[in-house]
Amino acid sequence: MKQLFYVAILCVASTFSYAQHEHHNHDEESTQWSSGRPDGHAPISVMGDHTHHKGGIMFSYRYMTMDMRQLRSGTDDATTANAHANYMVAPVDMIMNMHMLGAMYAPSDKITIMAMANYLENDMNLQMRNGNQFSTSTSGFGDVMVSALYSIFNKNRKAMHAQLGINIPTGSIEAMDVTPMSMGNEVQLPYPMQLGTGSFGAKLGLTYLGQSDKFSWGHQLTGMINFNDNDQDYKFGNQYRFNNWIGAKAGENLSVSIRLEGVVIDEIDGASSLLNPMMVTTADVANSGGTFINSGFGVNYMIKNGGLKGLRFASEISTPLYQDLNGIQLKQNYNLMFGLQYAMH
């Protein structure tokens, strides 16, 4: 992944150079980057992409569905037979649905406060060695993220801000369900089926934005670092993301976007004593984490007049271009996200 981050540095450097050249004639005007355009927000799947002026408020709702199916080991496809060579049970597919509520408020031009909460629904189908299949499911509230966004600069249609967030472990790590092996009793479910992390953590980010008359673009580098082992003596792997996007105006109210994202997720550190790592692949921490390159296509619609002025509708579908998974895991198939954002000034 070192090559990916070298490319990231080159992307940021080239964008700075391009923006400085394109807007040389605007230096005297000090034209600010603006979110009040249909392309003025990042694709809906990118969080913390913009700040607000003093007194600005924004509420958001996002719905995401993630589809995972087909086993993979490293960069090669695998079968349930491959998994059954070492485990009693193998996952067949999983769907995660997430509802996200967000709020942003700017007490000053420099600081924007952001809070996000979510509700998750996880459903997984699994297959035993004898060929019998069963399913497990969990649902409930996840962790809460509270962040401060600090505006570093906003001039000449370029802007940069930093993010410092804290993850509050409000989601359960004790989600349970009945399985064929549990004799009718509920048992602890493996790591991917849990609703929270159980750990406090920090989210660090840096976002650079640019605009021309018809386009907006951005780069965002974030890291999610889990601080402590949770009550079951493990912590989820740290996550590092590098997002790049460009949006194009397709009218006064409409824009389209494309996005390229690199993701590195570390392996789970530690292990829960409530899980048998030989029973199912998802209970073995060796089968966690990986490296991804994802692509996305989005559509955004903004109401600019009338009583609903400031309301945005957005959607994005993303698919992986590359997946290198640790151990044997379900590979990602696609992510689909819809969202509403309403800003008041």
The pLDDT value recorded for residue 24 is 40
CA distances from 290 to 72, 74, 89 (A): 11, 8, 21
The pLDDT value recorded for residue 175 is 96
Give the global pTM.
Answer: 0.88
Q: Which of 105, 242, 112, 109 is nearest to 164 (CA)?
A: 112
Please answer whether residues 71 and 329 qualify as being in contact, where contact means their C-beta atoms are separated by less than 8 angstroms: yes
Cα atoms in the Cβ-side hemisphere of radius 13 Å centred on 332: 25
- Which mean pLDDT values do the consecutive 10-residue runs of the chain (345 residues) have? 42 42 40 85 95 95 98 97 97 98 97 98 97 97 98 94 98 96 91 98 98 94 97 98 96 95 98 97 98 98 90 97 98 97 88
SS3 category, 139: strand
The pLDDT value recorded for residue 4 is 45
- How is residue 237 annotated by DSSP? P
CA distances from 238 to 44, 164, 289, 291 (A): 23, 15, 9, 12
The pLDDT value recorded for residue 306 is 87
